[in-house]
Amino acid sequence: MKVDGQEYRTIWMEGTTVFMIEQNLLPFEFKIHESSSYFETCFAITTMTVRGAGALGAAAGFAMAQAFMHAPVNGYWDFIVQAREEIEDTRPTARNLFYAVDRVFKAGKNSAENAVKEAQLIAEEDARDSRMIGKFGAELFGDETRVLTHCNAGWLAFVNYGTALSPIYYANKEGKKIFVYVDETRPRNQGAKLTAWELKNEKIEHVIIPDNAAAHFMSQKKVDMVIVGADRIASNGDVANKIGTLEKAIIAKEYDIPFYVAAPTSTFDLECKSGQNIKIENRSEEEVLFQTGMDANGNVSRIRVAAMGSPAENPAFDVTPAKYITGIITEKGIIKPCVQSIKKVCKS
């Protein structure tokens, strides 16, 4: 994606430094964050400086490579094993994170150079797979299509292109007319802040809607399809994604609207039998109780938006059962959300 005329990826590594777009500042400020050690990259993951399934996978892979590059001679493997545990503890739900750490860890057993090569390869594969998801997903679109999406599964959530937004970008470049309903996606508002920012950069027509307005627009026959991303997909087709995805799927089913999940095969977890086995991350209540925004004078500040003294629960994800999902758009094609199709695509 181009920002002010310059092309960027969401995350990349040069030497021993990991560079990433500081997503907590968007859409009010565009800044590149630098992490010079695996510990700093871990901190960037936990604070959501970088977020989104594919971008988390790339970040975790780079962090594991940084650990190999910085490991001391004395206590080398103790350092590496400890680093792996710390990286995997940063975000427990995202499958791509564990997938990348495991690959880089195995490659690093030969040499630190191999670890770096593997981490870079994972990032390249993520960009390639996202582009292919766009190509296959765009085939679902007619000449004019109205799409609803939830959270941010676009360029910012992956190394490049994204998943749920990739078909939209691809179809737009083919000359198809696309209109996107962008859920706010509270409490962090990744839809209103990130997805809307991406679509505006791409000059794609869109509107931000309150999270609880989706049923209204679906009932009014103003939505042709729903496309969301995924953080982990169980072997039976159940999908863990940003909190609020489940209710969108249920509503789409009620109004007979196709509901698609877009994700690379690296997001599938064949060892996870169903959504009941997916660990759901609970984040700080402050994300619910406080919001960051810009006032009329351009000043960015953080304010409390909830009653003083009231606590909050903040599950980051929910699980959508396979029965609500029309299909899963992968880099190898569109498949049904079932054990047979998932095993076949993962082994192909």
Where in the sequence numbering do the catalytic residues fall? 231
C-beta separation of 79 from 67 below 8 A: yes
C-beta separation of 343 from 270 below 8 A: yes
C-beta separation of 24 from 100 below 8 A: no
Q: Where are the alpha helices (DSSP H) in 11-94?
A: 38-46, 53-70, 76-88
Q: How far apart are CA 131 and CA 166, in angstroms?
A: 7
Which region, left, alpha or beta, applies to residue 306 given φ > 0 means left and ψ of -120 to 50 means alpha? beta
Place of tokens 């975000």: 91
Number of H helices, E strands in the chain: 12, 18
Beta bridge partners of 34: 19
Helix (H) / strand (E) containing 120: helix 112-138
Q: How far apart are CA 192 and CA 173, in angstroms?
A: 23
What's the chain's Rg over C-alpha atoms? 20
Helix (H) / strand (E) containing 11: strand 11-14
Q: At 209, list the tokens.
A: 């809607």
Q: At 105, list the tokens.
A: 């860890």
C-beta separation of 130 from 264 below 8 A: yes
